[in-house]
Amino acid sequence: MKLKIKNKEFEIKWEKSELAKNIAKNFPFNKKLDWRYWDELYVLTDFWLQLDENTKEIFEIWDIVYWVKNDNSKEAIAIFFGNTPAWDWTKPRPVSKCNLIWRITWDISIDDKIWKWDEIKIKV
């Protein structure tokens, strides 16, 4: 799988879960980033899926997760590439539980100039 943000392309590793398989049914994925919150990138999805039993609160940098807002009003693909407001100084921590769906397979640098409306593509 490939993730492309602006002009950079990255290999991503598939997490083998039912949720990840269901998300893959909605690809290829080609959208604009909806928001950046510290070092978290979010792309709203056009689909809603139930989080599975493997939800977590703490992730690794370069994890790509399926995020559902606590009140179920929004769902998104989120990419963690550094510090977050709920940071424990070692790992990213979103404000609500998420499911890991992919992981960028090597340490990369994402340009600090990535902002809302930048294009993101995910190809299976």
Average pLDDT over every residue of 1-6: 79
Average pLDDT over every residue of 16-37: 82
Could you tell me if 60 and 80 are in contact, meaning their C-beta atoms sit under 8 angstroms apart?
yes
**Of 15, 37, 51, 52, which Cα lies nearest the Cα of 93?**
37
pLDDT tier for residue 112 given thresholds of 50, 70 and 90? low
Residue 73's pLDDT is: 81
> Is 90 exceeded by the pLDDT of residue 99?
yes
Residue 54 has φ and ψ, to the nearest 5°, of -95, 25
The model's pTM: 0.84
Residue 85 preceded by cis peptide, ω within 30: no
Tens digit of each residue's pLDDT (9 = 90 or more) over 70-98: 787 889 999 988 777 776 667 888 888 89
Domain coordinates in residue numbering, the chain: 2-123
Tens digit of each residue's pLDDT (9 = 90 or more) over 31-64: 888 888 888 889 898 888 999 999 999 999 889 9
pLDDT tier for residue 18 given thresholds of 50, 70 and 90? confident
CATH architecture of 2-123: Beta Barrel (2.40)
Cα 23 to Cα 1: distance, rounded to the nearest angstrom:
13
Cα 80 to Cα 37: distance, rounded to the nearest angstrom:
10
